[in-house]
Copies of this chain bind each other. A is one copy, B any other.
Amino acid sequence: MANLADLARLINAELRGEPDADVIRARPFEHASEGDVTLALNSAFVARLNESRATAIIVAAPIPTDQNLLVSADPKLAFARAIQALHHADYQTIGVSNDLVAGAGTVLGTELSIHPRVTLGRDVTVGDRVTLYSGVVIGDRCSIGDDTVVHANVSVYHECEIGKRVIIHAGTVIGSDGFGFVRDEEGRQVKVLHLGGVRIEDDCELGANCAVDRGGFGDTVLRRGVKLDNLVQVGHNCDMGEDTVVAALSGFSGGTRVGRRCVVAGQVGTNQHTTIGDGATLAGRTAVTKSVKPGAVVAGLPAQDYNSWRRSQVLYSKLPKMADRLRRLEKIVENLTRAHQNSAE
């Protein structure tokens, strides 16, 4: 619970209304009622502002109304913060399950929440207030930073470093061997041993059933604040820049370098050793075959400027018409040519 004056401060919004009104929940516009703070994101909701029974409504700009408004230049951000402020449960330790299997040399922090059936290898370091759900398996010589949460059935291979406040969703695999093979004289594939590890920095979040391979030499790196959706593939020695977000089913081939604050939509793929500049945006299913410039917005296979791609895309759907026009033109020109030849004779 918070009163609106406090909430406004927490979410960095300007209050127009009663500072002492209390809110207890955040709720979507259609369902919000008394005690709720809600969001009127688009004009359709703003038009229905007076219908709402919410105690407070987050909007982008002040509007004449009797409702309590929380005005924010970034209403989505303000609402995300309101949800956090009202619904975030403070961390509570559940302790360490007495069936924990931990190898020699493993060091545990304090105030842990280690659920039943967790398995830690040798010489693992676990920070304070770490939550490990059932079925988690952590390999030898890994470290896990303070306040990190590892969900059920996550597998981490040996020598991986996981930072503070990281969230790893269920089923994700960290540190599997990179996909490196070289064909021998007889056509058989020779495995390239992978001697590096994985480093996941603070504040990263990885979705469910992702796969992050270890490096060949040196580490695969997810820098501070990287967010991966579900089923994302990160190949060996990739380097993902700070605060970059990646949607589901995207895959990065070995050695891809992704800049800071990039936005990578779903089902994107990259060729090996490509570089994506800081702040680039990759539309859904982009295929990166060579480097992408910082700040570029790209799409297509191979990746090209988004607007050019859109133009080609629209014309693609008009190809049958273009083909008709071309055929018609050929006919006319053939007739013209014949007519010209006749008149020249």
Contact = CB atoms under 8 A, between A and B. Distances in A.
Interface of A: 12, 27-28, 31, 74, 76-77, 80-81, 83-84, 87-88, 101, 115-117, 119, 133-135, 137, 139, 151-153, 155, 157, 167, 169-173, 176-177, 179-185, 187-193, 195, 203, 205, 207-211, 213, 217-218, 225, 227, 229-231, 233, 235, 243, 245, 247-249, 251, 253, 261, 266-267, 269, 271, 284-285, 287, 300-302, 304, 308-309, 311-313, 315-320, 322-323, 325-326, 329-330, 332-333, 336-337, 339-340, 343-344
Given A84-B191, A247-B253, A315-B320, 15 more contacts: A77-B184, A80-B192, A155-B170, A157-B170, A169-B211, A170-B173, A171-B171, A176-B230, A209-B211, A248-B251, A271-B284, A284-B287, A311-B319, A329-B330, A336-B340
Given A170-B157, A251-B267, A267-B267, A317 B312 contact: yes
Given A87-B193, A87-B195, A284-B269, A312 B308 contact: no
Interface centre among A83, A170, A332, A340 (most CB of B within 10 A): A170
Indicate how many identical chains form the complex: 3
Contact of A151 (B176, B300, B318): B176
A101 B134 CA distance: 10
Given A137-B133, A333-B333, A208 B101 contact: no
Contact of A171 (B155, B185, B253, B320): B155
A135 B153 contact: yes
Given A137-B153, A155-B170, A187 B243 contact: yes
Contacts of A173: 152-153, 169-171, 208-209, 230
A269 B229 CA distance: 14
Contact of A84 (B76, B190, B203, B313): B190
